[in-house]
Amino acid sequence: MGRRSPRELRIRRHNRLRKRVNGSQERPRLNIFRSNIHIYAQVIDDTLGHTLAAASTNEKAWPASETKMTKTEQAALVGKLVAERALEAGITKVVFDRGGFKYHGRIKALAEAAREAGLNF
């Protein structure tokens, strides 16, 4: 019985979370993935398996001036962007899927910015 890697533990937490969290057409899932450098957010309809809106720090249109921000500030900007794009697509209510990450730091900043921009969860 070897030790489990942090990635493996996160995936186990995410699988446990996904038993309860499922996106529908009325209420799609706001999925978050955080890497060491970037953060990604997608609004997903699980019934069709389609991404309805997305934003990340890895976009080509990401302004060069934004790279001087802290990772937490960048996450908040991604949260605002994904919320704006979801609202344009007619989505106001989502289910939050933190992806097995703890709800603090960049994940929390993204979630709060998305709420402030108009998403309900």
Residues of the chain with pLDDT under 50: none
Residue 98 lies in a domain: yes
State residue 1's pLDDT score: 65
State residue 65's pLDDT score: 75
In terms of residue numbers, what domain contains 60? 6-116
State residue 45's pLDDT score: 96
Residue 121 lies in a domain: no
Residue 63's Cβ-count burial label (10 Å; 0-12, 13-18, 19+) is exposed
Q: Are 37 and 56 in contact (CB under 8 A)?
A: no
State residue 63's pLDDT score: 78
How many separate domains does the chain show?
Answer: 1
State residue 62's pLDDT score: 81
Q: For residue 92, what is the domain's CATH number?
A: 3.30.420.100
pTM: 0.93
**Beta bridge partners of residue 93, listed in sequence order:** 120
Residue 93 lies in a domain: yes
